[in-house]
Structure 1
Amino acid sequence: MSVGNFVPERLERMRKVMAGHVERGDVPGLVWAVSRGGETHVEAAGTLALNGSAPMRGDSIFRIASLTKPVTATAAMILVEESRLRLDDPVDTWLPELADRKVLKSVDAKLTDTVPANRPVTLRDLLTLRFGVGAIMVYPFAYPVQHAMAEAGIAPSADLFRGSPDAFMKAVGSLPLAHQPGEGWLYHTGLDVAGVLVARAAGQPLSAFMQERIFGPLGMKDTGFHVPAEKVDRLATAYSRDVQTGKLGVYDEARGGLFAKPASFESGGGGLVSTAEDYLAFQKMLLGKGKLGAERILSRASVELMTTDQLSEEQKASAAMFFNGNSGWGLGMSVALKRDNLFTTPGRFGWDGGYGTSGYADPENDLAGVLLTQRLMDSPQAPKHHVDFWTSAYQAITG
């Protein structure tokens, strides 16, 4: 292992800061990892569950939620490079449920108050989350389309869709678009749809395609859409926090829980489980412009496209809570545009997950980092342990 990429004393400061979040009861446990210039550090603190029966380990498995999105975008771009999909072709061939879309005249309109779509939905619309279906950030729900998404079981939330991919697409296809294709930005659903598109175009389940083309080549041995029985003792119990009392309650058990059996719907927007080292391998592949060791997953051109902001200023302004005035969105991931914090280096890319995960890579500093916790996010604002992790990561690098 090479040395000199991190300051040892500052890594120790990082350990104390992160362990402090466990000691104060912010989270039962967590795993964090940083990698730079061939030097990697993976650390763990706390326990897999509140009962403290088993310690958190560096190879503990977590539900990584929306850290799935960059992986799904990668899978889609593999098919683009093979000319099996095209970014700007209509997706109707593979997703007939999205043909002949209707568009609401306004976001608060009745579901029947629509106009025809100006053009078909494309893969680019899905990966940039501009296809017209997704999270409308008005709570409690106030618009008919929000209620319709909830009734259909596809409203973006921590509760993943539990039906088949065909049932999911039928539900999506039953709704009008909230805006014309390509004209707005709505979080999440586009990557779930992209996952179905990849599976149909590849002619195999999304999990099988990802295993064959991404996880296997990169050595991501613990990543998938469920945890096999022989590994479930490494899966952290997931908790949600009562915002009134601050107390943690079980959201999903490890053994016998939702991720302990194969998923009927493999969510390209948020369904993967993984470990810190597995996800670091994926990040290092992107830092390597599509290549890790002898394995090339994508071309340099694809990675550069994926990590380039694709949104207009108006689109970013309409979703300000996601972009904080300092970032945009590429294909399946956030891209930092302005340094207004220790860790928002322009060009840094990645995303956060609603089950309490965070993973970003920074080409300028050759830095990859991932934080895995089992406490669900309860606000669009990053929790303190996320902020402290990234602050600690950047204060620890040399040069």
Structure 2
Amino acid sequence: MTNLHDTLQANVSNGSVPGAVGLVARGDRVEVAAVGSVDVDGTAPMARDSIFRIASITKPVVAAAVMMLVEDGRIALDDPVGQWLPELAKPTVVRTPGSAVDDVVPAARPITVRDVLSSRAGHGFPSDFSLPAVQLLFSELKQGPPRPQLVAAPDEWMGALSRIPLLYQPGDAWLYNTSSDIQGVLIARASGRPLPVFLAERLFEPLGMTDTGFEVPADKLDRFTSYYQADEEGALELVDAPDGQWSSLPVFPSGAGGLVSTLDDWHAFARMLLAEGTAGGRPLLSPESVRQMTTDQLTPSQRAAGTLFLEGQGWGFGGSVDVEAIDPWNVPGRYGWLGGTGTAAHITASTGTVTILLSQRAMSGPTAPDLMRDFWRYAAAV
């Protein structure tokens, strides 16, 4: 059987990625490999503590923070979010998903915290990105690949969101991404603390996630990887350098995909979830909150409609949940997600397994690239 190093190295050797780090853990047995370089020029070798833009594996972290506020009694799952987000207090909905943005009807009921946590608030990406209401998410909110310095401040962002009609009635459909950004604003307003401060105080500091945040300080830039996308010929072109968009704190800290982190930092978060919300003997979340996060919240029809992103699986709070073994790596109950910057992280409570893969090549679409699938196959076989 090949090892983790060789699995990752094969994708570096064929030119798919400049480098990658991976972790496969079951209980106390942890296998880690770092291969390739931090950039295409080979400036420095990839290392276990290299820092990456983790994109959408930010989502489970932010969902956990929302559940902390639920446990604090500041919000409740079935509360209308309009109490804290008045911009969403009286939403309108396009008459049909393909309708013009001025062909709307009132929402049948308020958007709740549960809707936002389960990505069923009515805003977000369906399978068809060309729909008029979806186009406004790109043009007005800068939804899409993370570009932190280009997004408006939270109040201005929420104002723009309030002028975009919902694509579906609250609770009716799973839609990707936007709900996680709404969660970030909800956390800040309900807690009275900026999102970066709340996450640092309640999650990152207790878990020892010392390299996780919305910016990379100057004294850590030497560990920060460069970020690339492939051109039409497959050559890697630079999207963001270490001194680029993550070198200063953005005005909009994105709960959908704004964090940077390391392999061991996300592993610390994963271990907390596997320990039913406990870290170092200190409870951060209740077992019930972890159970809700990691349990599929969708109906069969909602799962089917989300196939472009979910590939037939379900969605909990902030991450996907495997509901069937479609591929060798799918284990019912596996929870986690993947990020458009080339990242993936999952836990499986039934086996005590954590798998984390961090690379620096943008995904070309919602479908997981070969590197991820090779990594998952390896993790399922060991």
TM bucket normalised to smaller: over 0.9
Query: Aligned to 1:156, which of 129, 144, 149?
Result: 144
Match of 1:251 in 2: 239
SS in 2 for 1:78: helix
Distance of 2:365 and 2:183 partners within structure 1: 26
Match of 2:135 in 1: 147
Instruction: Map residues 163-182 of structure 1 onto 2, 5 A cutoff.
Output: 163-182=152-171
Deviations 1:255-292 (A, max 9, x none): 2x000111111000100000000000101111111112
Distance of 1:358 and 1:379 partners within structure 2: 14
Query: Aligned to 1:111, which of 90, 98, 101?
Result: 101
Deviations 1:294-314 (A, max 9, x none): 221100000011111110111
Q: State yes or no: 1:136 paired with 2:136.
A: no
SS in 2 for 1:351: strand
Deviations 1:105-130 (A, max 9, x none): 00111111111111111111111111
Query: Aligned to 2:356, which of 353, 367, 370?
Result: 370
Distance of 1:113 and 1:230 partners within structure 2: 52
Deviation at 1:38, TM superposition (A): 1.4
Distance of 1:151 and 1:369 partners within structure 2: 35
Match of 1:7 in 2: none
Q: State yes or no: 1:123 paired with 2:113.
A: yes
Deviation at 1:82, TM superposition (A): 1.0
Alpha carbons 2:4, 2:31 under 8 Å: kept: no
Distance of 1:376 and 1:336 partners within structure 2: 24
Deviation at 1:151, TM superposition (A): 2.6
SS in 1 for 2:137: helix
Distance of 1:303 and 1:292 partners within structure 2: 13
Query: Aligned to 1:320, which of 295, 299, 307?
Result: 307
Query: Aligned to 1:237, which of 226, 233, 239?
Result: 226
Match of 2:55 in 1: 65
Deviations 1:4-54 (A, max 9, x none): xxxxxx4x5221121111111110000111221112222200111111011
Distance of 1:358 and 1:173 partners within structure 2: 31
SS in 2 for 1:239: strand
Deviation at 1:337, TM superposition (A): 0.8
SS in 2 for 1:45: strand
Query: Bigger CA drift: 288-297 or 227-236?
Result: 288-297
Alpha carbons 2:90, 2:110 under 8 Å: kept: yes
Deviation at 1:371, TM superposition (A): 0.2
Distance of 1:13 and 1:157 partners within structure 2: 32
Distance of 2:76 and 2:13 partners within structure 1: 50
Alpha carbons 2:127, 2:308 under 8 Å: kept: no
SS in 2 for 1:201: helix
Instruction: Map residues 305-344 of structure 1 onto 2, 5 A cutoff.
Output: 305-325=292-312, 327-344=313-330
Q: State yes or no: 1:347 paired with 2:338.
A: no
| Long gaps (5+) in structure 2 | none
Query: Bigger CA drift: 358-367 or 335-344?
Result: 335-344
Alpha carbons 1:154, 1:172 under 8 Å: kept: no
Alpha carbons 1:134, 1:156 under 8 Å: kept: no
Distance of 2:144 and 2:194 partners within structure 1: 22
Match of 1:52 in 2: 42
Deviation at 1:213, TM superposition (A): 0.6
Deviations 1:364-396 (A, max 9, x none): 211101000000000222111101111111212
Distance of 2:270 and 2:33 partners within structure 1: 17
Distance of 2:5 and 2:38 partners within structure 1: 18
Task: Report sequence identity in percent.
Answer: 44
Counting matched residue pairs gives 381
Distance of 1:230 and 1:339 partners within structure 2: 44
Query: Aligned to 1:22, which of 12, 16, 21?
Result: 12
Distance of 1:377 and 1:130 partners within structure 2: 24
- Which amino acid in structure 1 is aligned with residue 78 of structure 2? D
